[in-house]
Each structure stands twice: as C-alpha cells, then as structure tokens.
Amino acid sequence: MIVAEQKPIHEILAMLPEVEQLLVLGCDTCVTVCLAGGEKEVKLLCGAIRLTNVKIGRVKGMSVERQCDREFLQEIAGEVEASGAVLSLACGAGVQMLAETFPDKIVLPGLNTLFMGSNEGSGYWLERCIGCGDCMLDLTGGICPKTRCSKGLMNGPCGGSQDGKCEVDPENLDCAWNLIYNKLKRVGLLDRLMENRPPRDWSKAHDGGPRSLHREDARL
Amino acid sequence: MITLKTESKLEALLERGEFVVTAELGPPKSVDAGILDAKIAALQGCVDAVNITDNQTAIVRISSIGTGVYARSHGLEPIIQMTCRDRNRLAIQADLLGAYLHGLRNLLCLTGDHQCFGNHPASKQVYDMDSIQLINMVRDMRDRGVFQNGEEIRAGKKAEMIPPRFYIGAAANPFAEPLEWRVNRLEKKINAGVDFIQTQCIYDMEIFSRWMRTVVERGLHQQVKILAGVTPIRSLGMAKYMKESVAGVVVPDSLLERIGAAENPKEEGLVFCAEQIRSFRAMEGLAGVHIMAIEWEKAVHGIVEAAGLLPRPREEV
C-alpha cells in the first residue's frame, strides 16, 4: 500500500485560505489502512481546525472510496462545489486527481506521501518498493536492494554492514544485502551473488521522465 | 619483460615486485594551497603514490581530480578516488577523460560514504552505479575502448580510438559483514577488472590474517595486487571511536589496553603501526601497504622509516 503521514498541524493551518466552507476529504483506501487519512483522521483534523483562529466559516468532513479514481470523485461533486477549498487527506495521486477533476477549486494536501510499503506491526511501516519499472526480486531472494539498501547497490553489501544492520541507521535499518545473503544461502542460491550485476537501465524508472502505461488489451 | 597495461608508475613498481607504500592525502575544505603544500611536502620521498580522497565522508572539499593535478605538478604520483555517490555515469566518464588529459593514471573505484554522514545530508544521492560496476566500466574503457553504453571512444567516425588507460584500484573490507562473504566480494571485484586493492584500515591482525590466508589459498593474490591498509592511532579516544562508531572497523580489546597503558599513546600508536607494516611485509600475498593517516600526513614519513621501508625505490625510466 501507499504509506503517508499527516503534515504538522501548523503547516496545514498556514496553507488554509479564508473561505466560507472548507471540505476535509479523506480517502478510504491505503491512507485509511496506514492511519493517516481515513474517516477517523478526517474527524480529528476537522476538530483541530475548528479550534483555531483560522478564518473559515464551516469545516466539513467526509471521505470517498478512492480519491485517485475520477468515478468516486464525481459522487461528491456537489459537496466540493459548495466548498471554497478542499483539504485532501489522500496520497499525492489523490490530491492531484481531485485538483484536476475540480479545476476551479483550491485543493490542498494534508498529508506527506512517503512510500509503497507494508505494515510491520503496531505503528510501524516499512518501505519495500520504489517502483523502478524493472523488477529484479528473482535475483535477490525477494528482497529489494534498490529500495532497502541505503545506497541502492546492485552488488552489495558495502563496507557499512555490521551486525546485520546498515550504518546509516543501525538502530532501525537492516542491511538489505545481509538479508539477501542470508535468504539466498537458506534457499541454496548463494552462487547467484557471485555474478556481477550490470548498471541498471534507469530510463524505466522516473529518471526516464514521468511514466504512463498504455495497454491496448485493456481498452474498451 | 612485463607488459604494463598503463603508464602508471604505481603499476610499474608493483609489477616489478616492489613492496609499495601508498598514503592518503585528504584535500582541504577551502582553497588554501598552503595546507595542500604542507601535506604534499610531508609525503614527498616517503611514499610511491598518494590517494586523493573524493569528498571524503561526504564532506565538500577540493575535488580529487583538481587536487590530483596539483599534487602531480609537485612530483607525486596521484591515485584519484572516485565515488558513485555524487556523479552519474555521464559525469564519471567525463571526469575520467579530463583526469587522464591532465596526466592522472591511477583510479580507485569506490561506492562512497552515504551523504547522511557528511555536511550536506539534504543532498540528493546518485548511486547510478556501484563500485563493482564502476570498475567494470573503467576496465572496458581501457581494454575495449568503449564507453559504458558500448560506443567507441573516438572523437569521430574516422578518428583514432584513444581511450583513457587507468590503473584500476578498489577497496576491500575484510572486517565488514557477512565476514564469510568478504573474499567472494574481492573475487567479484577481480572479475570486474580491478588491478589493485587497498584494504580498510586493519587493527585486528587475526581477522586480517585469516582473510589473507583464504585469499592466498584461492590464488586471488596472483590476480590482484593487495595493499594492506593502516591508520595510525593518535589517542585512546580515537581507538575507542574507531571501535564503537565506525562500521566496518574492528579494534581488538588488546589494542585498546595497549594504547591505554602506554605512557605516550600517540607514540605507541605509531609504534604499533610500524609493527603492523613489518608483519605485512612478511605475510604471503601482500604487495604493499596503504597508510591512511587521517589529517596527519606528517606522521607518514616516520612510520615508513620505522617500518624499514626508506628510501623508496626510484622509478626506472
């Protein structure tokens, strides 16, 4: 899922314009699961905004199934039109979709979108994929070095691996290449690590420019 | 008659079997030529080549190539360090062409310290390549005359192919984990095309000897010239810092005790360093020593002298 966290309240308040009605709009998918922008967070944020001196007539809260889907946004067109501005608690994709769907509205981000990752237990999320466009998990035992190695090395581990941890943050960060080493050893594929991996084709990642996907077979 | 791959003086010395001495020269954080002159003067005559660090520990300094050109004009044989942290493959190759144009012939290929350790932690990292890919790219430039994209290194279709011919070095860390993978990692660098290795600084002679024995058993010392790395300890505080805070460095307790018990810890650190070098000379498979006296270049002469390695051999023309 996409993991995000709420911006500090002072940043949110500073970006709010003077309007008759502010709509705080949550998203019921990823950001609900990671406790950043679901119905509950919408309610709390609405309350916090009402308690401040921000010059806003009314603060209204609601959420939609997915803000990154135009179809779901059309369902709340009336509420959006009735508001002077919308504070979106979706990921960056949702915020942008909202801004595009309602071109005359002021749309603001209430979250910082962080990464694609997983929940690792109570209050702990971990980045697992950078969406590089050229998956190599078959070579690395299902552990992504592009994402989980601090330097994104293709031929690790570097000299900063100690006690299974990465020197960048030895308290919290596992050395991805140590994990890869242990996994490949366990499944009897350690010889794969002896092959030198060539430089990557970064044109498949964001470095090649903003990406889009066109599929003939998926057209109606 | 040995055929040399490059015009490097370092290669010539290693190939004729000299036990070479290299040292590290850290460029200053300003354009203070006086500081550079003092460091250069301290190293003249006591080492065969000097490593010029590349934004060491991710702190901005005079560039490795700029300093290398300067050091060379003062009679030193520079080894340019190049990290993958700050440049993509375009910038690396362009800088290497420039370095070669200025007469630089030795290159040490490094991944580079993470930018979070330096003075610009907000900077964007590059790591378009890693050290192994860098080694391979520079080898291909030299031996196949091609850029990383496979294009021939020539100015035009009818122009002569004139590639840069670097003597290629890399680091090896016998102390980082997983320990049992470390000799394999050296072999990967050999497969990528490395000519010489400078190791991480060694304090634990036991772990190092074990690593070296495996290297020799596998015959890897015949495929690459290995220089053992040392960093003289200046104080008990420094020894403790190296032990506790620098990943990939192992300082045994016996050494801490020795430095702690010494009347003059600084002197004791130098004595230990010279002792290490003497044991390296006797160790099978080693081709030299690399002295990383961090911001203490003037200690190098004394260490080399105490290790019985002066005078340095003259390079034959």
* Structural domain includes residue A36: yes
Task: Indicate if A110 and A136 belong to the same structural domain.
Answer: no
Asked whether the predicted pLDDT for residue B77 surpasses 50, the reply is yes
pLDDT tens-digit series, residues B90-140:
999 999 999 999 999 999 999 999 999 999 999 999 999 999 999 999 999
Query: Residues with Cβ < 8 Å from B92, sequence gap 6 or more?
Result: B82, B84, B129, B134, B137
Whether A48 maps to a domain, the answer reads yes
How many other CB atoms are there within 10 angstroms of residue A90's CB atom?
31
When pLDDT is cut at 50, 70 and 90, the band that residue B316 belongs to is low
Evaluate if residue B182 carries a pLDDT over 50.
Answer: yes
| Position A220 in a domain | no
Helix B182-192 / helix B131-143 crossing angle, nearest 10 deg: 30
Helices (H), A16-121: 30-33, 39-50, 70-74, 77-81, 92-101
User: Shortest CB distance from A160 goes to which of B181, B188, B248?
Assistant: B248
Which residue of B lies nearest to A201 if distances are taken between CA atoms? B128
Residue A171 lies in a domain: yes
Distance CA B317, CA B308 (A): 25
How does pLDDT run along chain A (220 residues), one tens digit per residue? 999 999 999 999 999 999 999 999 999 999 999 999 999 999 999 999 999 978 899 999 999 999 999 999 999 999 999 999 999 999 999 999 999 999 999 999 999 999 999 999 999 999 999 999 999 999 999 999 999 999 999 999 998 888 999 999 999 999 999 999 999 999 999 999 999 999 999 999 999 999 999 999 999 8
- Name the closest residue on chain A to residue B125, using Cα atoms: A151
Is position A217 within any domain? no
What is the spatial distance between Cα B131 and Cα B116, in angstroms, rounded to a whole number?
Answer: 19
Report the 10 Å Cβ neighbour count for A132.
Answer: 18
Check A162 against B171: CB less than 8 A apart: no
Higher pLDDT, B176 or B306: B306
Residue A187 lies inside a defined structural domain of this protein: yes
Helices (H), strands (E): how many in chain A?
8, 9
Write b or e for each residue in B143-171: b if 16 or more Cβ atoms lie within 10 A of its Cβ, otherwise e: eebbbbeeeebeeeeeeeeebbbbbbbbb
Neighbours of B187 (CB within 10 A): 16
Give yes or no for a cis peptide into B174 (omega within 30° of 0).
no
- In sequence order, what DSSP letters do the residues of A156-198 get, joined into one string? ---TTEETTEETT-TTT-B-HHHHHHHHHHHTT-GGGGGSPPP
Q: Write down the pTM of the prediction.
A: 0.96
Give backbone dihedrals phi and psi of A2, rounded to 5 degrees, phi first: -85, 125
Mutate to test the interface with A, among B86, B133, B202 (most CBs of A within 10 A): B133
Task: Give residue-wise pLDDT tens across range A180-206.
Answer: 999 999 999 999 999 999 999 999 999
Q: How many domains does chain A have?
A: 2
| Crossing angle (nearest 10°) for helices B64-73 and B33-43 | 60
Contact at CB, B177 and A157, closer than 8 angstroms: yes
* A23/A107 same-domain check: yes
Residues A22 and A55 in one domain: yes
Q: Is the pLDDT of residue B317 over 60?
A: no
* Residues A186, A154 share a domain: yes
Residue A161 belongs to domain spanning: 131-200
Query: Same domain, yes or no, for A7 and A108?
Result: yes
pLDDT digits (tens, 9 = 90+) for B147-159: 999 999 999 999 9
Q: Is residue A216 part of a domain?
A: no
| Domain-embedded: residue A208 | no
Same domain assignment for residues A103 and A153: no
Q: Name all domains of chain B by residue range, CATH numbers in brackets.
A: 15-172 (3.20.20.220), 194-308 (3.20.20.220)
Tell me whether B171 touches chain A (CB under 8 Å). Answer: yes
DSSP B137: H
Q: Does residue A36 share a domain with residue A141?
A: no
Separation of alpha carbons A129 and A139, rounded Å: 15
Of the candidates B91, B107, B123, B102, which has an alpha carbon nearest to the alpha carbon of residue B49?
Answer: B107
Structural contact between residues A52 and A13, judged by C-beta atoms closer than 8 angstroms = yes
Lowest mean pLDDT among B27-41, B215-229, B240-254: B240-254
The amino acid at residue B304 is V
Task: Say how far apart CA B114 and CA A198 lie, in whole Å.
Answer: 21
The verdict on A98 and A15 lying in the same domain is yes
Identify the DSSP state of B202: P
Same domain membership, residue A42 and residue A87:
yes
Residue A82 and residue A168 in one domain: no
pLDDT band at B247 (very low <50, low <70, confident <90, very high): confident
The predicted structure's pLDDT at residue B177 = 86
| Chain B neighbors of A168, CB-CB under 8 A | 114, 116
Domain co-membership, A94 together with A136: no
pLDDT tens readout for residues B16-67: 999 999 999 999 999 999 999 999 999 999 999 999 999 999 999 999 999 9
Same domain, A25 and A65: yes
Helix (H, G, I), strand (E, B) or coil at A88: strand
Residue B80's φ and ψ, nearest 5 degrees, are -80, 125
According to the model, what pLDDT value does residue B314 have? 82
CA dist A107 and A99 (Å) reads 6
| Shortest Cα–Cα distance, A25 to chain B (Å) | 32
> Quick one: which H or E segment has residue A117?
strand A111-119
B200 contacts on A by Cβ (under 8 Å) = 159
- CATH number of the domain to which A47 belongs: 3.40.50.2300
C-alpha to C-alpha distance for B130 and A59, rounded to whole angstroms:
51
Chain A residues with CB within 8 Å of chain B CB: 150-164, 167-168, 170, 175, 178, 181-182, 193-194, 196-199, 202
Looking at chain B from residue 223 to 252, which residues have their Cβ under 8 Å from any Cβ of chain A?
247-248
